Structure 1
Amino acid sequence: MRALAIRSAKAAADPIRRRTNNRARLMARVSAVAALLLLAALPATADFDAGVAAFQRGNYDVARDEWRPLAESGQSNAQFNLALLHANGFGVPRSPDEARRWFAAAAEQGNTQAQYNLALMLQAGDGIERDIRGARRWYEKAARDGLAAAQNNLGLMYLNGDGMPADTARAIRWLGRAAGTSAQAQRNLDQLAESLPGARVTGSRVNVRAGPSRQSQVLAQVGSSDAGLLLDSRAGWSRLWFVERETIGWIADRLLALDGDAPQAKAEQTTAVGSTDPADVREKPVASSAVEEAPEESDERTRFKVASASAQLREGAARDASVSERLTYGTEVVVLGHDGGWRRIRVPTTGAEGWVSAFVLAWDEAAEAEVTARRASAPPATGSGGG
């Protein structure tokens, strides 16, 4: 549930960001990008076009006066752009409530970008009451309409169990849809693959089934040359992700050879009450007692930023660990160590420490540039001589 649209359209958004000097606000970034996408391709009346021209000149009062009557008459593009003004305080006092109202009006009419912006607001609780179910609903609508940023964020919601039971298989499917056009989604998939234990097929012709039983539909066949990544297990069956085949399905455990760390990953499973759907089965996280330490803080590779609309700082490396606080988009953090798909971090500005999912972090390019420049300007080290 990620800030992907911001990254993918960063270059297009920069002119507005420079004029407004509002880089720190999540909705400013997202809304500005979305607006530029619409402004570039919208057929509209003369009043709407006059508002576009005024907006591009920075005359936000004029843009507001042109768009408001159109928005009130039901034009979704004007509703979206009016929401943009209220989200950022362009020509009007900044009002998350008004931004939500106009984003919602446009979203109800099928405006995909408005659906995505509304989902971001609801997920983050950006000046409004947090509504995770509402965020999921609007992400799904935009994701099914093909918006990669929404597909990425919906995948992360399933991955982290944000407002729903965690479901790695569904997370992979949504992230996979976005990965074709989203570098962030592809990175998320790659990180997920690195965190999962592997399993090797031992038979020469093995069925991959839709559910954990011999009566379930056969999705594909694999052989002894195939290896998958373990998602979860149930009653003598394991659900695997065959990355190269782009297939997820169940195989009987007797037909698999697991990697050395797979028994830990195949720990006790939990199922939703009254549910028999394999999609509701999720792995109960197991926190390892041995935490691999990251490099010293002076290593620039430890510097990251929160790249999700909302990230939960937990007291342990598990989804059921207590949440100590919620980190906002763009928060700078230092990675201290890692345990599987979790990262132990410290927030330099507050000193808070805890665990977050690796998927809510993005490498801090600004920090990298700063460290590179500092190293380049440092005088060369001199030795004291000797044999």
Structure 2
Amino acid sequence: MTEDMLWLALGVTLRTKRVTFTNLINNFETIERVFDASARQLCCVKGVSMELAGAIKRAPESDEFKTELDAVQRLGLKIVTIRSPDYPENLRHIADPPQLLYVKGRLEPQDSFAIAIVGTRTVTHYGRQTAKTLGADLASMGITVVSGLARGVDASAHMGALTGKGRTIAVLGSGHGKMYPAEHASLAEEIARAGAVISELRTDTEPMPGNFPVRNRIISGLSLGTVVVEAGKRSGALITARLALEHGREVFAVPGNINAEMSAGPNLLIQQGAKPVLSASDIIAEIAPELKGMMKEGTVKQAAEAKLKLTPEERKVYEMLTQEPQHIDEIILSTALPTPTVSTTLFNLEIKGLAKEMPGKLFVRTL
């Protein structure tokens, strides 16, 4: 039996016992050692009773595991464990990371550059358009857009990212076999082709209310920051924002009408210190230092491919750059583009491996 199958067998047996799952892996270090351990040894781990120890020992041969394995194969899912190189790096560092993820689509290293966009299901026209615009603009800049596939703001953010021809990740509050909401099944397929649809829950898990606050820790954990577009004062989106703070991540909010119910949440967050967002550039400006610190040198091939996909503004700025350092003010004068546009464009070129910032706001071409 493969390592991933053993992880799945343990996950099926433990169901929602997340802390026990973590305790077992930390105690025995490898999944093979968990199953090699005796029932008495398993019972030494906090959270494991003699009854549960027996169930763990029987897990690889259980009908429950075989049914789940059939569902994973039928739904085209991949099992990604916390020990896998494919596991999202941002998520690995939260206090309570899921030990196992069911993934439809693919997770990629670039998903470390992710922003969550969340909000109410009862979205207004303003909220829907704002979520779509932010999703599209961030995706077009190479930022992965994370949300929860729910009606309203979530779906709009995913659709925007797809429009922006970028990556997006949907985090489910149900199992893959119980897609919720059902009308978003086709959207989920589109997301899987352009990114990933993920869940920590067994494939047959119903979308129970208690699943969603727990799911929200994954949304915020995947992301460098969370943007709340529209939300009432008791919205689950505010839970995601609170979790983002607990994870040491940024919190952003879209300001709205002070008399509008669905703007009460974002306005309250801004009052409490969240960064107000009027455009995707506001988000990029705030997280730019962290993004630069996470960037790795791209290969020549990747940079060459990036050159073929430049926007008109990126191409204009790129063509002004040389191997000799130029101050950003010179680039602004030479291109006749607005200062915010040049700042954002230079950052995008850095992300693509085509430019590099030197001390003193000096920039050079790298390819």
Q: Does TM, scored on the shorter chain, surpass 0.5?
A: no
Q: Give the TM-score, by structure 1 length.
A: 0.24
More strand by share: 1
TM-score, normalised by the number of residues in structure 2: 0.25
With a CA cutoff of 8 Å and minimum separation of 6, indicate the structure with the bigger relative contact order. 2
Q: Flag the structure with larger Rg.
A: 1
